[in-house]
Structure 1
Amino acid sequence: MDESTADSSQPSEVLRDNEESPAEPALREGAEENNTAGSCQVSGEIKTQMPPLQPPTTWTSAALKELKAKLRTEKDSVVTVYRGDIMTVHVPTVPEAKKVCWEYATDGYDIGFGIYFDWSPVTTRSITVHISESSDDEDEEEELEAPVGNGDVEKGSKTTSNSNSNVAELLPVYRQDSHMSVLGGSHEFPGEGTYLIKFDNSYSLWRNKTLYYRVYYSA
């Protein structure tokens, strides 16, 4: 692991179409163009456009027992994501690293997982954890069209989307078989901003999920 590695054991805070611009009037012959107004308009257009994001690198591992045993010894790396809740890990970019990495697994049942990137200026260097109930996360939710499975109350699911124009999607939230193998990945910083790593148990009516995870930086 790189020396710049920082995992989820850092102190964490747990918290419960553009309109077209009007056409410019034609310049009269001999008149000078107002460059100031033009540059302001161009700047506004650039500000609303976010650079395209490269997809993250993802992988799986059969070393489920090994990861769980290791993370049990690390502070705040084993948590319970309660039924109906969404846990979002906010991971700001830092100048001493070039990418963010993650690994996770669960006991017994699957969990939803997705990643977003918030282009808003970074205001803190701390990795923080936010917990929200699905009913409190209305701006970040929409129901999946998948039907409820036979006899399994957890087959009904939800995915998260973000109405915030500064937030871009890296990986949409999908249910992952994290109880069968370790899932991990990494993503190179596209610029300054904050990763929103979501562990989604909002689809579960009865089951809390024991989650083993770590998030760290790499050069």
Structure 2
Amino acid sequence: MERLEDTSELQSRLSSLSFSSFPGVTSKQSDDRPLDRLQNTDLSTSITQPTDRADMDEIKEDSGQRSEGNEEVPAEPAPGDGGEENNSAGSCQLSAEMKTQMPPLNPPTTWTSATLKELKAKLRLDKDSVVTVYRGDIMTVHVPTVPEAKRVCWEFATDGYDIGFGIYFDWTPVTNRSITVHISESSDDEDEEEEMEGPVSNGDVEKGSKTQSNSNLAEILPVYRQDSHLSVYGGSHDFPGEGTYLLKFDNSYSLWRNKTLYYRVYYSA
């Protein structure tokens, strides 16, 4: 019985208690306190910012090193760039050596004249100035440079049909000052073709002409077929230095016709 009474008395006391019975605790304080805590709490700051200052500095240093490293690393050359530069340098050196050995040659001064009959009549007086260039042959006139002159000059004409003409220069030191004539035959039978009887363009390059194997030989005027049966062809060229001119009269393209050539070569101061 005493226990029951004690229990009833305890329950009655508990039921009479409220929040206001505890000092400093009110219902308003209980409602506002959680809101204050949420407002004052910055969840994003606590998540994104490192809590350790040393870690933050370490991250900054690492990012700075990566950025500097990227800026300092030079771009790699594309494949073959180095080789091309080396080849270009080698080509320049080779070209410089070739230019030292053989200076560039200026183009010749050329002209034509209608005084065909006058020239032929004049040159007939000198038997050495009228020659026959046979079919398939190339006549080369070797004209060495001389100290007394500054340029070489030429004039030529033909009877009836055209002939090929070109000029080369041999840089080999001169040992003989006399003008000489050499006749040679074309060795390429496949390149020989029958001569065209009508007028031809100056752009018709001689197929019978051969590339010279002499490394000292330079081209001044390539061999072209000239209408020397219609006009006098002449020209001149200033001496580039000591050497020998090669004036080529080319009839290697003709299978059937020989050519009567009237020509003269002389020096000018």
TM-score, normalised via structure 1 length? 0.71
Unpaired runs of 5+ residues, structure 1, are: 1-19, 24-40
Of structures 1 and 2, the one scoring higher in RCO (CA 8 A, sep 6+) is 1
- Is the Cα–Cα contact under 8 Å of residues 169 and 243 in structure 2 kept in the other structure? yes
- Alignment equivalent of 2:164, drawn from 112, 115, 119: 112
CA change 1:169–1:46 in 2 (3 A) is: closer
Give the equivalent residue in structure 2 for 1:178: 228
Structure 2 residue 99 is matched with structure 1 residue 53: no
CA change 1:188–1:142 in 2 (3 A) is: farther
- Alignment equivalent of 1:102, drawn from 137, 154, 157: 154
Overall identity of the aligned pairs, in %: 80
Alignment of 1:60-79 (within 5 A): 60-79=112-131
Cα deviation, residue 73, structure 1: 0.3
Distance (Å, rounded) in 2 between the aligned partners of 1:117 and 1:46: 15
Structure 2 residue 145 is matched with structure 1 residue 93: yes
CA change 1:70–1:76 in 2 (3 A) is: same
Distance (Å, rounded) in 2 between the aligned partners of 1:164 and 1:130: 16
Alignment of 1:1-219 (within 5 A): 45=97, 49-135=101-187, 153-155=194-196, 157-219=207-269
SS in 1 for 2:176: coil
Cα deviation, residue 143, structure 1: 5.0
- Is the Cα–Cα contact under 8 Å of residues 88 and 198 in structure 1 kept in the other structure? yes
- Is the Cα–Cα contact under 8 Å of residues 191 and 253 in structure 2 kept in the other structure? no
Distance (Å, rounded) in 2 between the aligned partners of 1:142 and 1:129: 26
Cα deviation, residue 160, structure 1: 3.3
The amino acid of 1:154's aligned partner reads E
For 1:85-136, what per-residue CA distance to the aligned partner results, in whole angstroms no more than 9, with x for missing partners?
000000000000000000000000000000000000001000000000112x
For 1:155-187, what per-residue CA distance to the aligned partner results, in whole angstroms no more than 9, with x for missing partners?
484233212110000000010000000000000
Distance (Å, rounded) in 1 between the aligned partners of 2:141 and 2:225: 17
Distance (Å, rounded) in 1 between the aligned partners of 2:233 and 2:123: 14
Distance (Å, rounded) in 1 between the aligned partners of 2:127 and 2:227: 24
Unpaired runs of 5+ residues, structure 2, are: 1-86, 197-205
For 1:198-218, what per-residue CA distance to the aligned partner results, in whole angstroms no more than 9, with x for missing partners?
000000000000000000000
TM-score, normalised via structure 2 length? 0.58
Cα deviation, residue 154, structure 1: 1.1
Distance (Å, rounded) in 1 between the aligned partners of 2:135 and 2:209: 15
Instruction: Count how many residue pairs are aligned between Structure 1 and Structure 2.
Output: 169
